[in-house]
Structures are given as C-alpha cells and as structure tokens.
Structure 1
Amino acid sequence: MQEETKNMSDTEPTKLLLVDDEPSLREAVEAYLEDEGFIVKVASNADEGWEFMEQETPDLVITDIMMPRVDGYQFLEKLRDDPRYKGLPVILLTAKGMTSDRIKGHNAGCDAYLSKPFDPDELVAIVKNLLSRRETVNNTSENNTDLGAIAQQIAEIKTLLGQQGNFKTTPSPIKIDLTPREQSILNLVAEGLMNKEIARRLETSVRNVEKYVSRLFSKTGTNSRTELVRFALKHGLTDIG
C-alpha cells in the first residue's frame, strides 16, 4: 500500500506539442527536447496539431508560423479563442525576423517568439522559463489568497456538494479524458481541499498538484476551483457522492 502511494506521487513528465511542416527540423527539435526529458508529440500542420489538442492537452505548444493551409498565427488565434487553451504557453518559430512579424505574433497571444535558425539550447531555456513562470503564477495566486477567500471557496464548494441532488447531470459537450492522477486530484478539489492539503494527502509536492489543477482548468475551460467543481458535478466527472 505504501509503495502504491509512492508510485502515485511520481511527477508526470512535461508534455510538449511541436507543430512544424519541415520534417528535418521537426525531427531534430523533437530529439533534442526528448533528450532534455520532455515528452514530445509532433504534428506536420495546424490541423494535425488541433486534432492532438482535442485528445490531450499539452503543457506547452511550439508551432511554426509559415505552414500550408492554416499558418501559425491562425492556429494560435484558434487556441486563444478556446477557453481550454487561453492560458496555455505558446512559442512561435519562424524564419521571419521583422519587427512587424513579432508584433503580430505577440498581438495574437504568443508567449515567446524565436527566429530560425535558432540554438536549441535557447529553445529549451525558453520552454523551461515559460513552464516555471506558469507554475509560479499559479503558486503565487494561491499563496496570495487570504484566509477569508480560501474559506469562501471551500464554503462554495461544500454548498455545491450539498446541492448535488439539484444538479442535472448532462453529457459533456467536450470529450474530456482524465488520467487517474487528474481524477484523484479532481475528487480532492471537490472535497474542498486546497493544494497544500492535496499534496499532503497524496504525498507529493505542492508544485506537482498545481500542475495538475492547472491542467484540469485547461481541460474543462474553467478558471476557479468553484467553477471546476460545478462543471465536474454537472457532467458527472467526480466520484464524490
């Protein structure tokens, strides 16, 4: 039993999505990122990239701009228009280096812009920085929440749980596949536990819990724990009952 708990607390590797229509560059970048310990999924165009997004939400997206049919700007705009991916870090890769192109990329909502040819070490540094920044924002957000606000969130969640009989469970309009780890954390959030309490319960780090809660927000298109629990109850995603 103790060993089973330990296995459950192992940190899941960071998943990246790489979208580029140049096979040689795609393969080289994929191999380099995998050597750095990332799990990398690849797509040769934006449509393939979107299909992957619908199946599994990555922790970060790296996409080329100059691609056939749907370019990187359009792909980025599509991501930002979907509430599930609004906060997802996105890096744009392009042969373009003009200031106007960079401005267009940032206006579209990219988090970083890297011109080809580039040093793969620089790409790795940007990836790690964006992921670290995202975790820091999530951590700061919770740490800066005063006790009154925390109590309010827990009270709202417990009120939702008390009203479960009034929730009409409906099929989710979005196919949501949760990993066992995501499911266990969703259940604990639905119990009204905060990240530190969940970390203690699962014998893992607070940062790891934050990572999974952030993924749950992305997968469900919610922005707070209360919204997440309401969504989970309505669509039958939690085992609490």
Structure 2
Amino acid sequence: MVVDDEETVGELICEMLEDLRCVPTLATDARAALGVLEQDGFDMIVSDFKMPGMNGAEFYDALLNRHPQYADRVGFVTGDALSEDIFRFLSKVGRPHIEKPILRDDLSALLERLTCKGVNG
C-alpha cells in the first residue's frame, strides 16, 4: 500500500513499485488507508510523512493501535527528514525512510529493508 496525499506522487510511487514487480494500492488519505487495512491485507506500507489531517507519526501510532501487525512493515517517504521533529520520530521508531525526490533504486532499497527476501529488479 502507498499512502500519499499528493495523488501524482502516489501514482509515481505505484508505477515504480509495479516496475519492481509489486501490486500497489494507493490511498491518498491516511485515515482512508486505515479503513482499507480493515478490508484488505498488504505486505508492506510506504507512507508519505507530511500529510494533512494525519501525518506520518499519527498514522504510525494509529497503526500500532489498530493494526499492530503492520508496524514492522512501514517505510516512510519524506522531503524533510532533516526536520528536527521528523528526524526525532524516525530515530525513535527505527522505521526506514527515503527522501524525495524518489529514485527507483532508493525505493527498491526501502523495499529490501521492509522484507526479508528483498525485491528483484
């Protein structure tokens, strides 16, 4: 699952994931993503960090409460990892992240960190 409030960015990530032989689902709202997780299962979640309504930290906390099985399958995408708040959060929870602009190799490396088997491609 890809969670990104910017639909064009989310679609770009989904296209790169398809190139990496994944079958992504895009959610353009973190709250909506939580609802989708009630219905469908996913191998991993790639989430933007800065989103209106519910940011990446709030989304992660909601996952811990509602869907704890996904806590170790979440990776973040951010354009501002050097922000003190974001850096502190990412350091605290130990979840992998990549920076925008997103490169295919960076996304592939993120997927490898989220899975034991890695991604071919």
| TM-score for the superposition, normalised by structure 1 | 0.45
Deviation at 1:31, TM superposition (A): 0.8
Q: CA separation in 1, counterparts of 2:100 and 2:82?
A: 12
Deviation at 1:32, TM superposition (A): 1.1
Q: Does 1:122 align with 2:106?
A: yes
Secondary structure of the structure 2 residue equivalent to 1:125: helix
Deviation at 1:119, TM superposition (A): 1.4
Deviation at 1:102, TM superposition (A): 2.0
Residues 85, 104 of structure 1: CA spacing in aligned structure 2 closer, same or farther, 3 A cutoff?
A: same
The structure in which a higher percent of residues are helix is 1
In the other structure, the counterpart of 1:50 is: 34
Q: Does 1:38 align with 2:22?
A: yes
Give the AA of the match of 1:59. Answer: D
Q: CA separation in 1, counterparts of 2:10 and 2:67?
A: 28
Q: CA separation in 2, counterparts of 1:41 and 1:67?
A: 17
**Structure 1 vs Structure 2: percent identity of aligned residues?**
23
Q: From the CA coordinates, give the structure whose radius of gyration is larger.
A: 1
| Larger relative contact order, structure 1 or 2 (CA cutoff 8 Å, min sep 6) | 2
| TM-score for the superposition, normalised by structure 2 | 0.84
Secondary structure of the structure 2 residue equivalent to 1:66: coil
**Could you tell me whether the CA contact under 8 Å between 2:60 and 2:71 is conserved in 1?**
no
Aligned-residue CA RMSD (Å): 2.1
Residues 106, 49 of structure 1: CA spacing in aligned structure 2 closer, same or farther, 3 A cutoff?
A: farther
Which consecutive aligned stretches of 4+ in structure 1 deviate over 4 angstroms post-superposition? none
**Could you tell me whether the CA contact under 8 Å between 1:89 and 1:110 is conserved in 2?**
no
In the other structure, the counterpart of 2:45 is: 61
Q: CA separation in 1, counterparts of 2:62 and 2:101?
A: 26
Query: How many correspondences in the alignment?
Result: 117
Which of 68, 79, 87 is the aligned partner of 1:102?
87
Which of 84, 96, 99 is the aligned partner of 1:112?
96
In the other structure, the counterpart of 1:90 is: 74
Q: CA separation in 2, counterparts of 1:38 and 1:18?
A: 11
Once the two structures are superposed, the pairs formed by residues 138-153 of structure 1 within 5 Å of their partners are none
